[in-house]
Amino acid sequence: MRFSTKAIHVGQQPDPTTGATVPPIHVTSTYTQAAPGQSKGFEYSRTDNPTRRNYEAALAALENGQAAAAFASGLAASAAIIGSLLRPGDSLVAFSDLYGGTYRLFERVFRPWGLLPRYTDRTDPAAFGELVDTTTRLVWIETPTNPLLRVLDIAAVVHAVRDAEQRLGMDAERRILVVVDNTFATPALQLPLALGADLAVHSTTKYVGGHSDLVGGAVVAAEARTLEPIRFYQNAAGGVPGAFDCFLAHRGLKTLALRMARHCENAQRIAEWAVSQGAFEKVIYPGLSTHPQHELAKRQMGGFGGMVTCVLRGGFAAASKFMASTRLFSCAESLGGVESLINHPAVMTHASIPREVRERIGIVDGLVRLSVGVEDVADLIEDLQQALRA
Ligand SMILES: *Cc1c(COP(=O)(O)O)cnc(C)c1O
């Protein structure tokens, strides 16, 4: 099956007892057994739940993975990867341009616990090969990154890491896993596992859910055995999503390809419009030919995504006035919903990154991040235009 067919059909068998075309939401914590030890495959909903299982099957199919595990948030999914696969003294190599909460998780939760995170701010894949050593268990990248929309060559990073393993003489048991946060692109636009990555991690709060009405996360593994410790951790540590959220996220998957196509189309139009406005010092969108990794994005992605980042002339005062003046774009954290949002990373989503680090990587005070929704793009442009005038 191809993408949209999988999105509609995997994990969606009609209910065998009633024929309900859409499987029911299994709102139950426990499962009645015929006799002790005689269950129908489910015992307790932290361990497994039919609604969650169907959703995980769909996620795995869409990401081209063998298995998936759903979590209560994107950060719970990320924490499960580190908590289950790494031990004190292990190092992790990451791209410095990371979601703020992921950086905080590495630095403030796992560093005190013994994890040694190391960062590179180079998009050159060789940088990852140079930073790994025999203590490295994970290489963690986001692409496109949040909020600077830098694009990394996934296949080349995997290649550099595999070369480094050979150079270091690491055996198969110590293989370094490459993790790609695929939240921004989604499997509708980019398939990291098909490019050689071992794990894809998601905040399903964003495009997968797609309607700004749930918080969730997921890990998808290229090979089922890689997911085993994560699956164990899912049950043992328990950061699982409830059945209602699994249902909502699964419903989101069904329209993911349709929504992403519209997000991409609208974002491209807005980016091109913004370039023509003198008020912006800089417009960042992978679909612009001026984007430094435009050619790579074209090769690696099936579309350039729904996020547009702009730097307004006039710093924080201008950005703040602009953001308070939009009517359709809501000033809010998060992204990926059908409705357009506008965010100020330095004050909002990325406030947990120290100022000097933030400014060094380019998250300046005039920078605003647009999550372009699926509204009529002419209305969105008019809204931005009137906010610029204000
Ligand atoms: C939002 C986000 C996360 C964290 O996910 P939550 O669902 O908020 O816990 C991780 N990575 C990226 C790229 C995100 O945008």
Q: What is the pLDDT of residue 330?
A: 96
Say whether both 148 and 213 belong to one domain: yes
Which of ligand 1's atoms lies nearest the C-alpha of 215?
A: 7
Q: What percentage of the chain has pLDDT greater than the value 90?
A: 92
CA distance linking residue 181 with residue 175, whole number of Å:
19
Active site residue 376: no
Choose from 162-171, 206-215, 338-347 the range with maximum mean pLDDT: 206-215
Q: DSSP string of 141-183?
A: EESS-TTT-----HHHHHHHHHHHHHHHT--GGGPPEEEEE-T
Say whether both 74 and 112 belong to one domain: yes
Q: What is the pLDDT of residue 347?
A: 86
Q: What is the pLDDT of residue 264?
A: 98
Q: DSSP string of 283-307?
A: EE-TTSTTSTTHHHHHHH-SS--SE
Q: Is the pLDDT of residue 148 over 80?
A: yes
Active site residue 97: no
Amino acid identity of 336?
G
Say whether both 267 and 227 belong to one domain: no
Q: Is the pLDDT of residue 349 over 90?
A: no
pLDDT digits (tens, 9 = 90+) for 266-284: 999 999 999 999 999 999 9
Say whether both 192 and 74 belong to one domain: yes
Q: Give the model's confidence band at 33: pLDDT under 50 very low, under 70 low, under 90 confident, else very high.
A: very high
Domain boundary among the residues 219, 254, 289 is at 254
Say whether both 268 and 248 belong to one domain: no
Say whether both 36 and 55 belong to one domain: yes
Q: What is the pLDDT of residue 174?
A: 73
CB of 145 shorter than 6 A to ligand 1: no
8-state DSSP, 212: S
Range of the domain at 119: 3-254
**pTM (two decimals):** 0.96
Q: Give the model's confidence band at 312: pLDDT under 50 very low, under 70 low, under 90 confident, else very high.
A: very high
Domain boundary among the residues 254, 287, 304 is at 254
Nearest-CA residue for atom 7 of ligand 1: 74
Nearest-CA residue for atom 4 of ligand 1: 74
User: Which token pair is 109?
Assistant: 């939760």
Q: What is the CATH number of the domain that holds 138?
A: 3.40.640.10
Mean of the pLDDT values across residues 200-225? Answer: 98
Say whether both 94 and 68 belong to one domain: yes
Say whether both 366 and 238 belong to one domain: no
Say whether both 237 and 334 belong to one domain: no
Residue from 55, 99, 233, 285 carrying the catalytic annotation: 99
CA distance linking residue 29 with residue 44, whole number of Å:
6
Mean of the pLDDT values across residues 176-189? Answer: 98
Q: What is the CATH number of the domain that holds 357?
A: 3.90.1150.10
Q: Residue 141's closest CA among 171, 106, 189, 188?
A: 106
Asked if omega into 125 is within 30° of 0 (cis), the reply is no
CA distance linking residue 267 with residue 276, whole number of Å:
14
Q: Is the pLDDT of residue 200 over 80?
A: yes
CB atoms within 10 A of CB 8: 14
Burial class (CB within 10 angstroms; exposed 0-12, middle 13-18, buried 19+) of 225: exposed
Domain boundary among the residues 210, 233, 254 is at 254
Say whether both 286 and 300 belong to one domain: yes
- What average pLDDT does the structure give for the chain? 96
CA 108 to chain centre: 20
Which of ligand 1's atoms lies nearest the C-alpha of 98?
A: 13
CA of 389 to the centre of ligand 1 (A): 33
Ligand 1 pocket mutation pick from 183, 190, 309 by most atoms within 8 angstroms of CB = 183
Domain count, the chain: 2
Q: Is the pLDDT of residue 357 over 90?
A: no
8-state DSSP, 24: P
Say whether both 147 and 267 belong to one domain: no
Q: Is the pLDDT of residue 339 over 80?
A: yes
Say whether both 236 and 188 belong to one domain: yes
Q: DSSP string of 192-210?
A: GGGGT-SEEEEETTTTTT-
